[in-house]
Structure 1
Amino acid sequence: MNCLFLFIFLVLTVSALPISRAKVPAIIVFGDSSVDSGNNNHIQTILKSNHNPYGRDFQGGQPTGRFSNGRIPPDFISEAFGLKPSIPAYLDPEFTIKDFATGVCFASAGTGYDNSTSNVLNVIPLWKEIMYYKVYQRRLRKYLGMEKANLILKEALYLISIGTNDFLENYYTIPGGRSSQFNVGQYEDFLIGIAENFVRELYRLGARKISLSGLVPMGCLPLERTTNVMAGNECIEKYNDVAKEFNMKLQWLVLRLIMELPEIKLVFSNPYDLVLEIIQNPSFFGFENAAVACCGTGLFEMGYLCDSYNPFTCVDANKYVFWDSFHPTERTSQIVSDNLMKTVLAPFL
């Protein structure tokens, strides 16, 4: 069976799969800062966003630990499914298992598929996120009873968004690290292997509805463009090419797992094209600036460098694609989330 025939066969098979119309009772989140709703607030790391001006457009106007001026994609997705308008962080002591029963976030800003990525800034590794999830399962069963809890765990939508830090904070940044052990293609394959094991473990634990997210055009993040001085602060195309190649490998992984795991409803959420379109044509989406971020000078500020004492932070974040040098504004997140709900997540409605 040649590759083209296999691809056509898999695509036709996936499109023929029955679509479940069961209501999603909970949103369960794994990943990095793209989906972390505040877990890093409660661990020993310098990578935090629990200070102003983060969260200034969130309900109540207070920082939550989200790397945004407001809400992030899981919040919008939860609301779109008729659930609560924001997903609580599992480590936040203000929330209980009652709150977590309809949605919970295990993500940690700065983490990656690779354990060595989480070591860079001492954040929660992916394997520990799954450990927290196992404890959550036990708590949920104790709270709701075995039958009801297992139904929620089976019908919940699991969102996985991770991978950018493996390249930008690890592979291309740490001398003598992964780049000395793997060429970039080999490192992609190494990460794909971890992604596969993670999805299989979730499946073994009862998850059936899973969204695996690809990478954004990471060479166009303001922080990366700032360092690309010799090319006029344009996007770093090498990084974008890696993102596209990695996304293709993730897509093939998703197709293969659908064939191998009975009952799984696994989708690949690829934000790359839409985010690139927003960056290249910001005015079409109502933005005024996509090259620099809202916070500070918009060139390199993130985390503690994006603070309330910086006099340069923009007045209206809705005019900017990026909030800080690494993360989108609430408005960008909403556009991307709305698109996901109309496309790959629509079968779960």
Structure 2
Amino acid sequence: MAHYWYFNIPTWLFLFQILQALLVESKPNGKIPAVIVFGDSSVDSGNNNFIPTIARSNFKPYGRDFLGGLPTGRFCNGRLPPDFISEAVGLKPIVPAYLDPSYKISDFAHGVCFASAGTGYDNATSDVLGVIPLWKEVEYYKDYQKKLRAYSGLEKANNIISEALYLVSIGTNDFLENYYSFPYTRQKQFTVRQYEDFLIGIAGNFFEDLYDLGARKISLTGPPPMGCLPLQRATNILEGQACVEDKNNLAREFNVKLKSLVEKLNKKLPGLELVYSDAYDIFLDIITRPSKYGKFFRPGLLNSYYSTMQPNSQPLDD
């Protein structure tokens, strides 16, 4: 589990700025009634707490900047991107996990998360840590739709479904947890380029399924600089724990294919507004030049983290 990002507020403020610009361009006066989330640990708000898996973040230091300083199951020191985006579009400041029994359909009507840390497009990826596969996230979404229609009525529920903002962030685990990990089953079946295309095919089917279920406004975030994730750097001893460039190049290559898929689907599916939210360059810039973003940090809070991520970076001023 050491490869997961330890997310922080300034990173996602920049991501939100990108997404916000796309939304404004798309529909400046549109009211977003709900934020609906699919994906992996980058957006899982706690679903893994309620399934039998070791892929959990229900312990400290996770959650140290969340309300009450308690871990919530988010792989984060505080809130995740869907939480910030939900608040920014006038909804509640957190998007609850669908499997959390402390929430009801009245809570989920304006925001719900189906994401599961450790999952990927490939079903075999979810098997590695026994987490929720992407197809199961869709099944939970179908169940949610039934509950929403019973709670809100058919017309209102259908409006929520069609006007909601869908956030999808997934793909990293397919490579790091699956393709490049023992027993290397997918490597025996595919070259890495073939595997990328295999995942793109699954992604296309996933978005068409969401479209058929009523989704129209979707933001897709692809892999960040995978070679800069903590485990990748920690094991890159021969290069002084620098970012692993071949993994970063792979992420860039896969993201190009995701962008092409987005263009293809927007042309194919009438009324679809699928946007690609590029996290790669922002993440890489923050990792390699953290002092550039110092004005967003609480002094001293994240210095130790960034000093481990980028040995040559300058600490922030206290």
Query: Does the TM-score normalized on the shorter chain lie above 0.5?
Result: yes
Change (3 A) 1:322 1:48: farther
Instruction: Give 2:203's aligned residue.
Output: 195
Instruction: Give 2:313's aligned residue.
Output: none
2: CA distance, partners of 1:56 / 1:223: 22
Instruction: Give 2:76's aligned residue.
Output: 68
Question: Which residue of 225, 230, 238 maps to 1:222?
Answer: 230
Contact 1:55 1:61 in 2 (8 A): yes
Compute the displacement of 1:18 (Å).
6.2
2: CA distance, partners of 1:322 / 1:81: 30
2: CA distance, partners of 1:21 / 1:229: 52
1:286 alignment partner, SS class: helix
List structure 1 segments (4+ residues) > 6 angstroms apart after TM superposition: 322-325
Compute the displacement of 1:56 (Å).
1.4
**Number of aligned positions between the proteins:** 285
Q: Which amino acid aligns with 2:45?
A: S
Q: Which amino acid aligns with 1:95?
A: Y
1:77 matched to 2:85? The reply is: yes
Question: Which residue of 268, 277, 290 maps to 1:269?
Answer: 277
Q: Which amino acid aligns with 1:318?
A: L
2:69 alignment partner, SS class: coil
Compute the displacement of 1:323 (Å).
12
Contact 2:290 2:306 in 1 (8 A): no
Question: Which residue of 121, 124, 142 maps to 1:113?
Answer: 121
- The aligned runs of 1:300-311 (5 Å cut-off) are none
Percentage of matched positions with identical amino acids: 63
Contact 2:45 2:113 in 1 (8 A): yes
Instruction: Give 2:144's aligned residue.
Output: 136
1: CA distance, partners of 2:306 / 2:75: 11
Alignment RMSD: 2.2
Compute the displacement of 1:316 (Å).
5.0
Instruction: Give 2:50's aligned residue.
Output: 42
- The aligned runs of 1:152-231 (5 Å cut-off) are 152-231=160-239
1:235 matched to 2:243? The reply is: yes
Q: Which amino acid aligns with 2:275?
A: V
Q: Where do 5+ consecutive residues of structure 2 fail to align?
A: 1-21, 310-318
Q: Which amino acid aligns with 2:84?
A: F
1:206 alignment partner, SS class: coil
Q: Which amino acid aligns with 1:25?
A: P
2: CA distance, partners of 1:135 / 1:280: 43
Highest RCO, 1 vs 2 (Cα 8 Å, sep ≥ 6): 1
- The aligned runs of 1:334-345 (5 Å cut-off) are none
Question: Which residue of 20, 26, 36 maps to 2:34?
Answer: 26
Change (3 A) 1:211 1:228: same
Compute the displacement of 1:243 (Å).
0.2
Question: Which residue of 72, 93, 103 maps to 2:111?
Answer: 103
Q: Where do 5+ consecutive residues of structure 1 fail to align?
A: 1-13, 290-314, 326-349
1:99 alignment partner, SS class: helix
* TM-score after normalising by structure 1: 0.78
Question: Which residue of 234, 243, 253 maps to 2:261?
Answer: 253
Instruction: Give 2:132's aligned residue.
Output: 124
Contact 2:117 2:131 in 1 (8 A): yes
1:87 matched to 2:95? The reply is: yes
1: CA distance, partners of 2:305 / 2:154: 44
